[in-house]
Amino acid sequence: MTYTVAVSGASGYAGGEILRLLASHPDIEIRTVTAHSNAGQPLIQHQPHLRSLAHLTLQDTTPEILAGHDIVFLALPHGQSGQYTDALGDVPLVIDAGADHRLTSQDSWDAFYGGHFHEPWAYGVPELIVGGEKQRESLRSAKRIAAPGCNASTVSLSLVPGVAAGVIDPRDIVSVLAVGPSGAGKSLKPHLLGSELLGTANPYAVGGTHRHIPEIQQALRTAGADDARISFTPVLVPMARGILATSTAPIVPGTSDAQIREAWESAYGDETFVQLLPEGQFPRTADVLGANTALMGLAIDRAANRVTVVTAVDNLVKGTAGAAIQSMNLALGLPEGRALTVNGVAP
Amino acid sequence: MTYTVAVSGASGYAGGEILRLLASHPDIEIRTVTAHSNAGQPLIQHQPHLRSLAHLTLQDTTPEILAGHDIVFLALPHGQSGQYTDALGDVPLVIDAGADHRLTSQDSWDAFYGGHFHEPWAYGVPELIVGGEKQRESLRSAKRIAAPGCNASTVSLSLVPGVAAGVIDPRDIVSVLAVGPSGAGKSLKPHLLGSELLGTANPYAVGGTHRHIPEIQQALRTAGADDARISFTPVLVPMARGILATSTAPIVPGTSDAQIREAWESAYGDETFVQLLPEGQFPRTADVLGANTALMGLAIDRAANRVTVVTAVDNLVKGTAGAAIQSMNLALGLPEGRALTVNGVAP
Amino acid sequence: MTYTVAVSGASGYAGGEILRLLASHPDIEIRTVTAHSNAGQPLIQHQPHLRSLAHLTLQDTTPEILAGHDIVFLALPHGQSGQYTDALGDVPLVIDAGADHRLTSQDSWDAFYGGHFHEPWAYGVPELIVGGEKQRESLRSAKRIAAPGCNASTVSLSLVPGVAAGVIDPRDIVSVLAVGPSGAGKSLKPHLLGSELLGTANPYAVGGTHRHIPEIQQALRTAGADDARISFTPVLVPMARGILATSTAPIVPGTSDAQIREAWESAYGDETFVQLLPEGQFPRTADVLGANTALMGLAIDRAANRVTVVTAVDNLVKGTAGAAIQSMNLALGLPEGRALTVNGVAP
Amino acid sequence: MTYTVAVSGASGYAGGEILRLLASHPDIEIRTVTAHSNAGQPLIQHQPHLRSLAHLTLQDTTPEILAGHDIVFLALPHGQSGQYTDALGDVPLVIDAGADHRLTSQDSWDAFYGGHFHEPWAYGVPELIVGGEKQRESLRSAKRIAAPGCNASTVSLSLVPGVAAGVIDPRDIVSVLAVGPSGAGKSLKPHLLGSELLGTANPYAVGGTHRHIPEIQQALRTAGADDARISFTPVLVPMARGILATSTAPIVPGTSDAQIREAWESAYGDETFVQLLPEGQFPRTADVLGANTALMGLAIDRAANRVTVVTAVDNLVKGTAGAAIQSMNLALGLPEGRALTVNGVAP
């Protein structure tokens, strides 16, 4: 059967990427695209790369327009999804690319976001270990899915295997991420101008203020970490897309190299979209550009007594839109990787 | 008086930057430039940006050609300086931009470089705290100077104040650096091709293998750290120049925020070329492009129990050639900042 | 049925892109990948983004190894295909991504390439107007296909409609192209280093020396231009992929704006992979990244008496590998766009 | 003596670059910096690279605050200078980096800008040939100076020698420019976002609409071209700064190669900041980054019957702020190159 879809926030980066992926999905009919200030304009005026969707016009983002589809994607600024989700009760499947339904802890929501707290939805990272199984299982029957934060899911995927296996200590994690600016959305802010980003590296949210920190802590908790603490620093670098996350954690005393590597190998050995590279190899973001793949390299640094995991993802695909569609496929009972590619566009 | 200068390795990036800075130095006459395979060719064929030096021709790099100058700069691949330094005994001032004379520990040399061990020279980072004073003092009368490794000096400058003041614990440092490829020199290696670097972030030397690690440990030791351990990960990002180093270390228990900030303020409050930004501000590499400035932001993250220092330098200036010339000025008794700029070229 | 394929030059950029596209082609089995100095190594060591082809090992590039497949792709340096093509007589379909079989004029070959002249093959740009029809027709039954030069096909597609319709004068064409370095291949040349390309624009082959000039002239001749002259300047800019070609030609006196626009609209109105944008709109290379689309904007500048056509392509897709596979699909009687996407990966 | 200076538009890119250059000028005291919405804030908050000017606070841009200085620089959006210039009658020297005082023809102003027409001021490109002499002469006694448009002066410098010498035909010029986005200022427009500019080439103002066209025509007219027509296409490429202009014009029949080359050599042979490269060499924008140099390569393409001139400038220096300060030096009777560098910052 063919599912009808509405995508809100369709003139932005996350919405555009959801559309790019859905455009090649054989079971999906993109029926409606919506926006705010750009409503009334052709989609392609704002997404000129989506040639196959040239026939679509942006409509207003209202509950009435979004209702009546089999699936609704919300790609709205944080804090705006809630007003729609309440009114979309009859829609069989709603997937939110925003943060509103990610956190289970209202305290964390209040501390890092503020505003009305919404109930948590199934978390759209199928490969995460949750208790003894994978997050995937909770997505198979999901009606409401929260796509992950791109930085958060990248770091969580990097470290959860080691935490779940008890080989790294989650109480002193350090993550530093080289990130492209598309993760910040199509926002007209001075520090996101091309002249400010070309040829330079630019840190932000230094010192524990980034909103993805509680989301990582939540993933580590569900993997078994009672007390997860993380020093988290994102750095904007001159690439439109991509996250390269370098995450390190102390080695639990008495753990062998083989035990450490085995933790990641057993977690991801059967996965298509999360891959551990052979020893001594580390990924580049170009290797996963446009792909739904998280590519990971692992080093065991006995001199520093730390495990270092370097993970590359495309923030708009595996970090957002790909995660959303992989989760959608699971929820619909379709092959999990449909419309998603494992090969990146490089060089 | 005017000092005559010879620069070896003049067709490379470090040599070129030494020449760019010396070209505006009123007390210096650039008399000789040398290279290996490019000898016999005009300098400007290899350094087309050095318009004012269009009259110079690259000569062979031999002790005979380098001798007879007041100052000799060696900008050669690691391990090659030694053969010249022995033969330059009569040259009043020799400055090596390579690694050969940086390390005081032969064990470290053997472990990270190998080959013949050379005696350590005065270390060309004037602002470092060494014992109770600054490294500057040892440079005032120096005849032989080792310019620092760019990544090493950036991390050392970031952390030495906290170590010297006893407010951070040097036994569990994590540094992740976004770096431009010019630090790797003009080497014809596949991973340094433009197609491999544009639009992507690329980690290397992950897991404790980078040669700048012992150099950082040495600087931390002279600042008082008996046991300095560092998890060190450099990431190539798409900018020709620049280092943005994110370094974190655990807070020593019982230390107040004021004490922490004071450590860096007192270390650098009087410095021109190492500047601590006001609370909540962090630097971009563009801010120091072409300048001899190390720009630093400090965050105290109590949730992670870590201090985070983000430091931006131009790897070819403050990281290499600027450090060399600042040290030269000190050794010659000239104003320390002559021919060096504090303002970056941005955007 | 499934066709077996061998790809030579599989460790290079053109070969890698052919593989990336073929990997999602339902009718193709990639059986053999070959290289020269890298033979014996895993493909993925050189193409780490091709995750789905991790099982392939690079073999030697010999006629024996290439023979015995249904289709052979040659992605070799110019001048090297000939030695293989003679020995591949039994292979039903051979597609050369090099220049060896593109030119019909031996004089042009001698002037711009030199060495042994090879017979011209069917030219792999289906949308070009040749006489009264499209190049596509000659590809339907082709056994031997020459994929185009990326710059050449971009400029030819830009101008052929106007030449064929007699609305522009081919005797005074000016084309200036912003190009990414991947078009130059994975060559270890100093001017292709990342440090030399990041943050800078770099012209090359200025003044009529570029090898794609005779290929453009040939396309214009088959479209009806007795005498095509072109001032052609490529400029390397800091993007791994992409060509943005700005081409201008004098307006033939007495031609109306409607007639001019109609020439391009009638040429490409029915095409999927060559699209003319509405009046006043012009393409970006990001809009076609990873896609097989040539996107084109047209301006009529009466003050300068010139038509300006700006065309964006991905040099590795529509410029090379996509053109090869589109042509292959035609030759095999498959849907022309199979395994090719029309939507780019942006931002 | 020391001249006091006020710079308006000091939080923008042009204003910032004027300040960067003036900061090293020994005869200048930067007394006042002004802005609009940012008034009241520290300059360094908006120009964090100007470390030596950390003591300055942005004031309101009013005639009263600007008056009372020896020199006033106006770096305001086009059309805004006029309201200030009338009120600054007592200021000995006013230099406008905007377009308001560049054009001598009100018709051109009306056609390309619109709004109130202001009287033309001395044009700040000293090396241009005007009649039998250089533009420099008109600047020696100037009280009011219009700094050039960056694209306009680059193209004018490229072609004026050939026009003045009668070796190229100005009636069919084609110029295509690869330009960095800083030339568009610190404007919050979607197409100037980093995500829209990284990894892509983006044309704008195609087809004869760019405002620098009449400025080029004016320069060519003063060099002797009765009828100058130009097809002009700028392309944004991923570098913060820089212009690489490829300009071609038909060769006047009967002209020898030697005559052509001689035109440029005689025009610029004695110039410091405009340099013609030897035959067969062409410039990169990196070669002039941060420098006041226009670097130029010349090709004679007999097959296309065109001269091609490729010129690299830093749009913020030689294109704007450097031109302004070079002109200021002339007007004050100071050495023309004071505070300006000829060597670029590369790589």
- Which residues lie closer than 8 Å to D286 by C-beta, 6 or more apart? B49, B240, C196, C199, C200, C202, D242, D344, D345, D346, D347
Q: What digits encode the pLDDT tens for the residues C10-52?
A: 999 999 999 999 999 999 999 999 999 999 999 999 999 999 9
Nearest Cβ partner of C239 from B186, B192, B199? B199
Residue at C40: amino acid letter: G
- What confidence tier does D83 reach under pLDDT thresholds 50, 70, 90? confident
pLDDT at residue A81, rounded to an integer: 87
B-facing residues of C in 196-215 (CB < 8 A) are 196-200
**C84–chain D nearest CA distance, Å:** 34
3-class DSSP string for D140-176:
CCCCEEECCCHHHHHHHHHHHHHHHCCCECHHHEEEE
pLDDT of residue D20: 98
C-alpha distance from residue A313 to each of A79, A318, C180 (Å): 25, 6, 23
Tens of pLDDT, residue by residue over B233-272, are: 999 999 999 999 999 999 999 999 999 999 999 999 999 9
Q: Which residues of B are less than 8 Å from C13 in CB distance? A: 195
Contact criterion met (CB < 8 Å) for A208 and B299: yes
Give D18's pLDDT tier (boundaries 50, 70, 90): very high
Residue type, A60: D
Q: Taking 90 as the threshold, does the pLDDT of residue A195 lie above it?
A: yes
Which sequence positions of B are flagged as catalytic? 150
B20 to chain D, any CB pair closer than 8 A? The answer is: yes
Whether residue D287 has pLDDT greater than 90: yes
- Compute the distance between CA of residue B87 and CA of residue C288 in angstroms, rounded to an integer: 59
User: Given pLDDT bands bounded at 50, 70 and 90, which one contains residue A190?
Assistant: very high
Query: What is the per-residue pLDDT across D116-134, written as a single tens digit (0 to 9) for each?
Result: 999 999 999 999 999 889 9
For the stretch B31-55, pLDDT in tens is: 999 999 999 999 999 999 999 999 9
State the average pLDDT over residues A63-74. Answer: 96
Torsion angle of the four alpha carbons C322, C328, C330, C336, in this order, in degrees rounded to the nearest 10: -40
Per-residue exposure over B7-17, b if at least 16 CB sit within 10 Å of its own CB, e if not: bbbbbbbbbbb
Residues 260-299 of D with CB under 8 A from C: 282-287, 289, 297, 299
Compute the mean pLDDT over every residue in chain A, rounded to the nearest whole number.
Answer: 96
- Looking at residue B78, its pLDDT comes to 84
- Start-to-end CA distance of chain D, whole Å, equals 37
Tell me what the pLDDT averaged over chain C comes to. Answer: 96
For residue A188, the distance in angstroms to the closest alpha carbon of chain D comes to 5
CA distances from B312 to A2, A240, B217, B248, C256 (A): 53, 21, 20, 15, 58
Interface with chain A: mutation pick from D193, D196, D243, highest number of A CBs within 10 Å: D193
Domains assigned to chain A: 3-147+318-332 (3.40.50.720), 151-315 (3.30.360.10)
Tens of pLDDT along C77-130? Answer: 888 888 888 889 999 999 999 999 999 999 999 999 998 999 999 999 999 999
CA distances from D121 to A17, C252, D82, D169 (A): 51, 40, 12, 28
Of A112, B196, B323, the C-alpha closest to C181 is B196
> Alpha helix locations (H) across chain D?
13-22, 43-46, 63-66, 82-85, 106-112, 136-139, 150-164, 194-197, 213-222, 257-268, 322-332
CA dihedral D331, D337, D339, D344 (to 10 degrees): 140
Cα–Cα distances in angstroms (integers) from residue A107 to residues A115, A118, A123, in the given order: 11, 12, 18
Considering A50, A150, A163, A197, which one is annotated as catalytic?
A: A150
Q: What are the tens digits of pLDDT across the range C252-267? A: 999 999 999 999 999 9
Cβ-nearest to B193 among C193, C200, C236: C193
Q: Is the pLDDT of residue A44 over 90?
A: yes
Q: Is the pLDDT of residue D168 over 90?
A: yes
When pLDDT is averaged across residues D41-70 and rounded to a whole number, the result is: 97
- Cα separation, A187 vs B152, in Å, equals 36
Give the B:C interface size as CB pairs under 8 Å. Answer: 69
Q: Is the pLDDT of residue C203 over 90?
A: yes
Q: Is the pLDDT of residue B276 over 90?
A: yes
pLDDT band for position D82 (cuts 50, 70, 90): confident
Please give the average per-residue pLDDT across A235-242, as a whole number: 98
In sequence order, which ranges of chain C are alpha helices (DSSP H)?
Answer: 13-22, 43-46, 63-66, 82-85, 106-112, 136-139, 150-164, 194-197, 213-222, 257-268, 322-332
Query: Are residues B246 and A203 in contact, defined by beta-carbon separation less than 8 angstroms?
Result: yes
Q: Which amino acid type is present at position D81?
A: S
In the structure, what pLDDT confidence band is assigned to residue B94 with cuts at 50, 70 and 90?
very high
For residue D149, the tally of other CB atoms under 10 A from its CB is 28
pLDDT band at A132 (very low <50, low <70, confident <90, very high): confident
Give me the residue from B13, B50, B51 closest to D275, CB to CB. Answer: B51
State the pLDDT at residue A85: 82
Instruction: Check if A50 contacts C (Cβ < 8 Å).
Output: yes
A124-131 average pLDDT score? 96
pLDDT of residue D86: 81
> What are A71-87's pLDDT values in tens digits?
999 999 888 888 888 88
Cα–Cα distance for residue pair B243/B155, rounded to 1 Å: 10
For residue range C141-180, what is the model confidence (pLDDT) as tens digits?
Answer: 999 999 999 999 999 999 999 999 999 999 999 999 999 9
Task: Check if C246 contacts D (Cβ < 8 Å).
Answer: yes
pLDDT at residue D87, as a whole number: 87
Q: Please name which of D261, D308, D309, D312 lies closest in space to residue D283, comparing C-alpha atoms.
A: D312
Q: Is C150 a catalytic residue?
A: yes
Given a cut of 90, whether residue C275 has pLDDT beyond it is yes
Measured CA distances, C114 to C75, C79, C107, C183, D6 (Å): 19, 9, 9, 21, 62
C341 touches chain A (CB under 8 A): yes
Of A278-282, B313-317, C71-75, D112-116, minimum mean pLDDT range? D112-116
* pLDDT tens-place string over residues C97-107: 999 999 999 99
- A114: CB partners within 8 A, 6+ apart: none
* Distance (Å, whole) CA D263 – CA C47: 50
DSSP strands (E only) in chain C: 3-7, 28-35, 58-60, 71-74, 93-96, 122-123, 129-130, 133-134, 144-146, 173-179, 202-203, 230-236, 243-250, 274-276, 294-301, 306-313
Beta bridge partners of B93: B71
Nearest to D178 by CA among D285, D294, D320, D282: D285
Q: For residue D46, what are its two tokens?
A: 């908006």
Residue C218 pLDDT greater than 90, yes or no = yes
Q: Does B347 touch chain C (CB under 8 A)?
A: no
Q: How far is Cα B346 from Cα A254, in angstroms, rounded to an integer? A: 50
